[in-house]
């Protein structure tokens, strides 16, 4: 992907995310089509916009979206994987923790990712072997540290995360919204560890996977196995995203003890 193409797609996602933020005041956009899955009219609009724009720029590259009615286990060699609104509950509730995100996946590996949090005015981007950026400023490589700040989506840690923080002698906690956003906070050094011990889907994590890789962060399934962008989209094991390998290994060990 050329630098100009990179810039074009980032602008598309930024344009969408700004619209998504405005739609919070639109009662039609807030209409719930599915209370069980928490799917809104905004999700549908965002999906249609992204799919149309990406297809216009790259008509030969198929688009796979969270909002598709079905997801096949067999995937194209090259495709867009999109999450038009990651963190719809945060969006609906008036919180800042939602993003729009896009990944380009090639040969089962995300090679380009963009994650935009419009209310926070933050855009994370990365292109394979060309570095990662926050608002066009290069992100530094992640390094080992004695600090251990967890991130999760509740005002105070609870349940599994609270127990794990106690076991690992965590030094802090950060509240945030969507899976993509929490993962980006590890990549940019705001926090150190994110663990989600429930089903995670490829579109939740593909855009940030390349960002993490460019800064030396680690993404694994919660059991320590590699996160593979092949087969079913659902990863029932959950995920661990860690600042460095030592922290990753500690998290896997302690998480295994808690399960």
> Are residues 180 and 110 both part of a single domain?
no
What residues contact residue 25 under an 8 Å CB cut-off, 6+ apart? none
> Are residues 14 and 125 both part of a single domain?
yes
> Are residues 164 and 116 both part of a single domain?
no
Residue that is last in its domain, among 82, 113, 138: 138
Checking if the pLDDT of 2 tops 80, the result is no
> Are residues 126 and 158 both part of a single domain?
no
Look up residue 5 and give its two tokens.
Answer: 């193409």
Q: How confident is the model at residue 69 (pLDDT cuts 50, 70, 90)?
A: confident
Say which CATH number the domain at 51 has: 3.30.540.10
Residue that is last in its domain, among 138, 169, 203: 138
Write out the residue range of the structural domain in which residue 14 sits.
3-138
Q: What is the pLDDT of residue 6?
A: 85
8 Å CB contact between 152 and 132: no
- Burial class of residue 109 in the structure, from the number of CB atoms within 10 Å of its CB (0-12 exposed, 13-18 middle, 19+ buried): middle
> Are residues 11 and 127 both part of a single domain?
yes
Say which CATH number the domain at 251 has: 3.40.190.80
Phi/psi at 36 (nearest 5 deg)?
A: -65, -45
> Are residues 14 and 71 both part of a single domain?
yes
- Cα angle 230, 57, 43; round to 5: 65
Look up residue 14 and give its two tokens.
Answer: 């930024």
pLDDT tens for residues 153-201? 999 999 999 999 999 999 999 999 999 999 999 999 999 999 999 999 9
Q: How confident is the model at residue 15 (pLDDT cuts 50, 70, 90)?
A: very high
């Amino acid at each position: 992907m050329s630098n100009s193409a990179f810039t074009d797609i980032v602008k598309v996602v930024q344009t969408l995310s700004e619209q998504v933020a405005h739609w919070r005041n639109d009662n039609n956009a807030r209409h719930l089509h599915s209370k069980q899955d928490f799917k809104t009219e905004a999700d549908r609009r965002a999906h249609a916009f992204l799919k149309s724009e990406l297809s216009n720029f790259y008509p030969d590259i198929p688009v796979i979206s969270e909002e598709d009615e079905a997801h096949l286990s067999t995937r194209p060699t090259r495709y867009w994987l999109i999450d038009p609104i990651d963190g719809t509950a945060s969006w609906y509730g008036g919180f800042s923790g939602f993003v729009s995100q896009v990944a380009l996946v090639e040969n089962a590996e995300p090679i380009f990712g963009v994650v935009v949090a419009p209310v926070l005015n933050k855009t994370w981007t990365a292109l394979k072997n060309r570095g990662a950026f926050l608002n066009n400023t290069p992100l530094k490589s992640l390094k080992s540290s004695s600090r251990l700040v967890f991130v999760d989506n509740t005002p105070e840690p609870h349940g599994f995360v609270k127990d794990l923080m106690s076991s690992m002698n965590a030094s802090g906690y950060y509240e945030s919204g969507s899976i993509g956003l929490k993962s980006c906070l590890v990549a940019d050094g705001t926090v150190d560890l994110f663990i989600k011990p429930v089903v995670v889907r490829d579109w939740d994590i593909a855009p940030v996977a390349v960002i993490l890789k460019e800064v030396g962060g680690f993404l694994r399934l919660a059991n320590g196995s590699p996160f593979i962008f092949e087969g079913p989209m659902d990863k029932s094991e959950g995920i661990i995203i860690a600042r460095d390998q030592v922290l990753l290994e500690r998290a896997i060990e302690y998480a295994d003890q808690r399960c």
